[in-house]
A = this chain, B = another copy of it.
Amino acid sequence: MLTKDIYLSHCARTLRYLERAGVVLSEKEKEAIEVAEYGLGIPDRIGLQLVVYVNTERYCAKELVLFPGQTCPEHRHPPVGSEPGKQETFRCRWGKVYLYVPGEKTPHMHASVPQERRDFFTVWHEVVLLPGDQYTIPPDTLHWFQAGEEGAVVSEFSSPSRDALDVYTDPLIRPDAPRQPW
Contacts and interface: CB of A to CB of B under 8 A. Distances in A.
Report the copy number of this chain in the oligomer: 2
B23 A54 contact: no
Nearest to A27: B132
Interface centre among A22, A93, A134 (most CB of B within 10 A): A22
Interface string A12-25: 00000000011111
Contacts of A54: 89, 134, 136, 157
Interface in A79-110: 87, 89, 91, 93-94
Contacts of A29: 132
Contacts of A93: 22-24
A26 to B, nearest CB: 4
A145 B159 CA distance: 26
Interface centre among A53, A61, A93 (most CB of B within 10 A): A61
